[in-house]
Every structure is written in C-alpha cells, then in structure tokens.
Amino acid sequence: MKRVFSGIQPTGNLHLGNYLGAIRNWVRMQDEAECIFSVVDLHAITVAQDPATLRRGIHEMVAALIAAGLDPERCILFPQSRVRVHAELAWVLMCTARMGWLNRMTQFKEKSGKDREGASVGLYTYPVLQAADILAYKATHVPVGEDQKQHLELARDIAIKFNTDMGVDLFPPPEPVIEGPATRVMSLRDGSAKMSKSDPSDQSRINLTDDADTIAAKVKRAKSDADLLPSEAAGLAGRPEAANLVNLMAALTDTTVAQVLADFGGKGFGAFKPALADVMVAKLAPITARFNALKDDDVAIEAICARGAERARAIAEPVLAEVHRAVGFTR
C-alpha cells in the first residue's frame, strides 16, 4: 500500500509558492494513496514563538489547507503535537542517528547563520524529528522539494540503520515523490531567491489571502526585464525573473513553458503581466473565499484537528509498540 506523509509549518496563510510547490500536488494525491498531512508545530518551536501567534497559526494553516483542496475525509490532517508518538519516536531515532550525519545537514548551517552556538538544540536535531514524522506511519513516499531532499535521505539512512541494528524489517525506507511543475517558485522581487513567508517584503510573494487588486498590483511591480519574451524556452536562459513569471503562468494554467511562449513569444511584459494576474486571480479567488469563511470557525477547525489526530494515533501507536519491542522496552 502506498502511504504518503508530508508536513507544513504553521506559519498562518499560505502563499503561491506553497500552493504550486506542494499543496496542489497533495490535493491530487488524496485519491492515489493513503495520505497523512501534518501541521508541524513541534518543528515550529525550534525557533522562538509567541504562544498566541502559534496557536492562531496552527488553526489558520489547517483552514488554508482545506481551502486549497485538502479533504479531511479523504486524507488525515492534524497538528503534529496532538500525536505524542512523533516526539517519543524521535528520541529513539536520535539514538540511532549519527552525529556525522547531522553535521552534514546544510539547512542547520543556513538557519543558524553566524550564531550557531546560540541556536537551539532542536534546530540542530529537527531532521531526526522529521524522520520520526515519516517513520511513525511507515510512510512509503514523501513529497519533497529541492531543499528537503537531504532530510529525506537522512530518514532513509535512519530507517535502514534501525532495521539493521535491531534485526527487524520494521521501517520501509521512504521514497521521494518529486513535485510537478513550478516546484521552486521564486520571489517576485528576486528571481534567484525562493518565494518565502520570511521575506520582509510582502511584495515578494502572492499570499492566498490577497484580493484581486493586490494580486494585480504585485504582478505589475514584479521584477522582469526590458526584453521581449522569447519564442522558445532556451531564450529564458540568464533571465531568472522572466523565467519565473513564465513558469508561474505554465503551472497555473496546467500547460508547459513552450505553450506559454507560443502564445506570448515576441510580446513584452506590458501584455504578459496583466494576463498572468488574471490567471492568478481566477485560480486563487475561490481558495481565498473559502479560507476567509473557515479561518474564524474555531469549533469546526478544532473538530477537524481532533478527528485527524485520532486517526493518526490509530496508525502511529501500533508502530511505536513495535519499536518498543524491537528496542527491548517493557510495556
């Protein structure tokens, strides 16, 4: 049986990069496999969080995921901290993982920056918790973007070492599911940087809560260049901002870069950007409307979280019991 696990940080509203890079593919997977999706609030506290903001962010992310197309009846959707197996299994797997493996993790180096000594231990070890997230459900497949491939390799290494050390065949090494088009949506202000919620400029991203006028204004101001669009994809080489906007059009219309350039090759951005804005508005308006209707309904969101966590525990707790037996714990 194909079982998919993936998680997302409780950062509040989704942006277009989240949607095109991951969430749209999650929606498609719901009918292809048993899907388990988690709002990873345990990961969130590897850096300082305001409790009230975190609590609100968890609820808003659940609402945003449902608005974007996840169906709590066709997938399992829950906040990570509601299932204690994640944290307990992470400790066991920390005793399986090797220091050398974690020392090679590039994201810790990037996120800790020059203050490595001041970073939390959680920020250093969170790839092991990420492995526990996956292995707690014996997930066979994990959707990954470029920035998470290394962590999935770590999860595979941990699964294999645990099985070998304990003489069991307990964890299947998870396989990557490479995302579809526009897996790495870039900033509207810098075609070499990924679209991110952490960018201080709101003009760098399209939020799923932006209204039509805001989207049109952001697309109009998006960085481009003075050249006309080429008629073939090779002509986008060395033009990161142009390539990003063309890739967005292709992804939003479920076509290819070649098809977009067949329509717009030889035209300038004065013609292309309004068309792109119209497509964005048409795609995002229904999501925005549903999110706005859901986000303040705490009773409905809480019921979804509780039910999702109950279903997740039903899978994860028997796996943890197998781990206990393999390790030698008494119960």
* Residues taking part in catalysis: 111, 194, 197
Residues linked to residue 77 through DSSP beta bridges, in sequence order: 37
Task: Centre a 10 Å sphere on the Cβ of residue 15 and count the other Cβ atoms it contains.
Answer: 24
Residue 4 amino acid letter: V
In whole angstroms, give the CA distance from residue 29 to residue 177: 10
Would you state the structure tokens that stand for residue 191, as one six-digit string? 């075609």
The CA-based angle 320-322-327, given to 5 degrees, is: 95
* H or E stretch at 282: helix 269-294
Nearest to 23 by CA among 3, 42, 5, 8: 8
**Selection from 299, 287, 298 nearest residue 67 by Cα:** 287
In which residue are the tokens 């998006």 written? 222
Determine which helix (DSSP H) or strand (DSSP E) holds 241, and give its type and residue range: helix 240-252
Cα separation, 27 vs 5, whole angstroms: 13
Q: In this structure, are residues 169 and 323 in contact, taking their beta carbons and an 8 Å threshold?
A: no
Q: Which two tokens stand for residue 99?
A: 């220091």
Residues in the chain: 331
Main-chain dihedrals φ then ψ at residue 142, nearest 5 degrees? -135, 120
Helix axes 85-94, 298-327, angle to 10 degrees: 40
Q: Any idea what the Cα angle at residue 113 is, between residues 109 and 115, rounded to 5°?
A: 110
Helix (H) or strand (E) holding 37: strand 34-39
Within a 10 A sphere around the Cβ of 318, how many other Cβ atoms? Answer: 12
- Tell me if 68 sits within 8 A of 30, measured CB to CB: no
